[in-house]
């Protein structure tokens, strides 16, 4: 009655080499890919701890923070989001979620499960939120926690004025949580100066490391709030005080919390090393220049950006309106089939309505911008031609 | 006021090549390591889905199950444990935890956070549980969920009679959760035949893939229980119905749930392919032969196994009593310093009392058994010699 071994595992693994210019993951550099083949290390070996210390230093630089509670979660960006709420929210806490696209609603799915009291402040379609709108919502809801995505990858909206929002949070004695998954490294972010209490980012976007390990940081205020909780943090795996002990963030001995993936540590360490070597400001500047070139090119080929104001546009994930009469899926399929190039469609509120073009990390170069513009143009023309020839 | 880039990231990454014969991770084969350097793939790309399907087929074979809800969690083995409880436990549910070492108590840490009503059935030190002890606990506690580790890596105890425990669970209408992190591939495990409702294992043990991705499987009974919950599953990230939709386990379209690490998929896929090529029964047999050889050798060099009955000994993680007058840490340090060989000390209830020697995957060979025995003997002698020469 033994179930047999599956036939399909007799084939060898084949992985195509694609140019990943959707909203992420982006391509890793060869240095990062090479690092992944290093032998594995034990999760309590001193060499592993040293790599974790390197990463912690790199993440502090990345976030521009001195927070001792800076660490990584062994999971994807969604795990970073869950780590924010499971630690900071208790039953009945009012959590105000800013929605400039999908991510505020995704956060709601987590907060509801934790018995948080979810409130929303929603931007007009295609716009960032104004400070007035946010302050009005603070007045009405008196939240304990405020969440916003600096860059919403579903709409390509960049939320400006995080510094001013940080001041609002301080005024209303509210913890300030910022999702920087899609934005960090592409725009300015100053965790300490802007009084952000919890931030997380993605490894697989601007950094160009593999997914599966997620940098997070908690302010001292956030840690104090966690220590003052009346109830348990509902997750062991995401408990910031335990994960932080493993990452040697506090004045306590390191504990064995879970078996970290040394493989993912290697990739993230090398990606951070490359980021540091280039310099934070240079990387941000390069991403902005690339997005500017893309936006000019989009106009030249007769297309239109989705986000109304230029200042509200995220340089890392660029959203372009799908022109009337064009099926986005055919364009995307054409680019992939002919050039192994990823151009994505919309997500959530922008589904069917936009193309999303990622300019992140190794793909934030003028060459890649020109490549993606040429292919996008060609793909749109070719699908139009097919449509006409069918008639 | 810019915080500067850390100096330490100017150094290049150096990873030593160790022989990992502690309780895990074990060494990966070169085939697995090589696969990790493949270019990353998007989490919604068809090639990624194909690899996930390969893995699902391999995991079904590994667990010997036809469960449609067979998938992986993007996290370590601890994430697998949390996935079990966060899905299956609601407020006030009685959860009976079998303790033959650390893992029952670790499970308690999770269940308490979820407002489960924790009960224990504890074995005598160095022994597995008897069926009588377990049935007595069932009578007394009437649990909704029963948890046991097939192999407890902290004590090296193998719990036999899982088939009979499965029948008990059925009789008491209780869900049967089995931790197979340290045991799977080293001893027989028949998920369906033994009526196990939820099982998870580690990627980094017998399989020899990197840590960070954890195979799990839920029976139809378990899925029905989840669907009948009165309250939300408290985690979005570990929600089996959502993760299962991403893994195409149900008759619903695939959803985007989180960004899976294609890198870790490659390693796990190749590790499963090797496991399938060798054949499940052959791999189990090899692990048992190796442990037998180790146990004979331990006796020959005048040491004693920690687990009293030979039948209760886990072949994958072998626990050996630290002889009187020997400091385990010095032995462990000697082996690492001189041979880059990992021999671990105890954990939790066995701290300071045992050596733990892992024979898993690529390290379950006679050559490695003889190597570790020789080095263990030499290390013990050398620390004794140092002690004497000090006097």
**Residue A389 clears pLDDT 90, i.e. is over it:** no
- pLDDT given for residue A275 in this prediction: 98
- pLDDT given for residue A384 in this prediction: 80
What pLDDT digit, counting tens, does each position of A167-180 carry? 999 999 999 999 99
Q: State the average pLDDT over residues B147-176.
A: 98
Which residues lie closer than 8 Å to A233 by C-beta, 6 or more apart? A86, A87, A226, A239, A240, A241, B113
What pLDDT digit, counting tens, does each position of A314-333 carry? 999 999 999 999 999 999 99
What pLDDT digit, counting tens, does each position of A277-319 carry? 999 999 999 999 999 999 999 999 999 999 999 999 999 999 9
Residue A8: closest C-alpha in chain B = B54
**Residue B89 clears pLDDT 90, i.e. is over it:** yes
- pLDDT given for residue B29 in this prediction: 98
Preferred mutation among A21, A40, A361 to probe B, highest tally of B CBs within 10 A = A40
Can you tell me the ipTM of this complex?
0.97
Contact A110 B236 (CB under 8 A): yes
**The pair of three-digit structure tokens given for residue B67, joined into one six-digit string:** 């469960």
Contact B6 A264 (CB under 8 A): no
Contact B64 A2 (CB under 8 A): yes
Q: State the average pLDDT over residues A144-149.
A: 98
Q: State the average pLDDT over residues A29-39.
A: 98
d(CA B51, CA B43): 11
**Residue B391 clears pLDDT 60, i.e. is over it:** no
**The pair of three-digit structure tokens given for residue A236, joined into one six-digit string:** 């062991």
Phi and psi dihedrals of A139, rounded to 5?
Answer: -60, -45
**CA of B391 to nearest chain A CA: how many angstroms apart?**
31
Preferred mutation among B7, B15, B58 to probe A, highest tally of A CBs within 10 A = B15
**Beta-ladder partners of B94:** B117
**CA of A238 to nearest chain B CA: how many angstroms apart?**
9
Q: Report the candidate in B56, B37, B32 with the shortest Cα–Cα distance to residue B361.
A: B32
Is the pTM here over 0.90, yes or no?
yes
**Residue A345 clears pLDDT 60, i.e. is over it:** yes
- pLDDT given for residue B1 in this prediction: 80
- pLDDT given for residue B13 in this prediction: 97
Residue A86: closest C-alpha in chain B = B235
- pLDDT given for residue B386 in this prediction: 62
Q: State the average pLDDT over residues A63-87.
A: 98
Mean pLDDT of chain A: 97
**Residue B94 clears pLDDT 90, i.e. is over it:** yes
Q: Which H or E run includes B354?
A: strand B354-358
- pLDDT given for residue A333 in this prediction: 97
Q: State the average pLDDT over residues B218-244.
A: 98
What pLDDT digit, counting tens, does each position of A175-210 carry? 999 999 999 999 999 999 999 999 999 999 999 999
**Residue A259 clears pLDDT 80, i.e. is over it:** yes
């Amino acid at each position: 009655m033994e179930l047999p071994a599956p036939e399909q595992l007799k084939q060898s693994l084949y992985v195509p080499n694609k140019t990943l210019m959707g909203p992420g993951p982006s391509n890793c550099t060869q240095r990062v890919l090479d690092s992944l083949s290093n032998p594995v290390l034990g999760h309590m070996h001193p060499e592993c701890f040293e790599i974790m210390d390197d990463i912690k230093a790199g993440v502090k630089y990345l976030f521009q923070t001195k927070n001792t509670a800076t660490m990584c979660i062994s999971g994807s960006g969604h795990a970073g989001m869950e780590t924010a709420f499971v630690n900071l929210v208790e039953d009945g806490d009012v959590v105000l979620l800013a929605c400039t696209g999908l991510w505020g609603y995704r956060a709601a799915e987590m907060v509801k499960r934790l018995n948080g009291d979810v409130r929303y402040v929603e931007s007009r379609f295609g716009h960032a939120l104004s400070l007035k709108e946010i302050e009005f919502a603070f007045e009405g809801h008196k939240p304990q926690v405020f969440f916003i995505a600096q860059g919403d990858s579903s709409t390509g909206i960049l939320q400006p004025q995080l510094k001013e929002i940080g001041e609002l949070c301080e005024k209303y004695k509210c913890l300030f949580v910022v999702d920087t998954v899609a934005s960090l490294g592409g725009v300015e972010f100053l965790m300490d100066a802007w009084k952000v209490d919890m931030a997380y980012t993605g490894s697989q976007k601007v950094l160009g490391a593999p997914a599966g390990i997620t940098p997070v940081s908690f302010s001292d205020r956030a840690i104090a709030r966690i220590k003052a909780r009346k109830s348990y943090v509902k997750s062991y795996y995401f408990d910031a005080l335990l994960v932080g002990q493993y990452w040697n963030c506090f004045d306590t001995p390191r504990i064995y919390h879970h078996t970290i993936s040394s493989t993912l540590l290697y990739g993230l360490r090398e990606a951070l090393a490359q980021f540091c070597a280039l310099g934070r400001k240079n990387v941000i500047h390069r991403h902005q220049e690339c997005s500017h070139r893309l936006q000019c090119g989009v106009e030249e080929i007769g297309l239109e950006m989705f986000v109304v104001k230029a200042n509200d546009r995220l340089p890392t994930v660029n959203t372009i309106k799908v022109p009337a009469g064009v099926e986005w899926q055919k364009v995307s399929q054409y680019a992939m089939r002919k050039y192994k190039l990823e151009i994505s469609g919309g997500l959530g509120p922008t589904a069917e309505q936009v193309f999303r073009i990622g300019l992140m990390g190794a793909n934030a170069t003028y060459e890649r911008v020109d490549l993606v513009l040429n292919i996008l143009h060609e793909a749109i023309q070719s699908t139009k031609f097919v449509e006409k020839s069918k008639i």
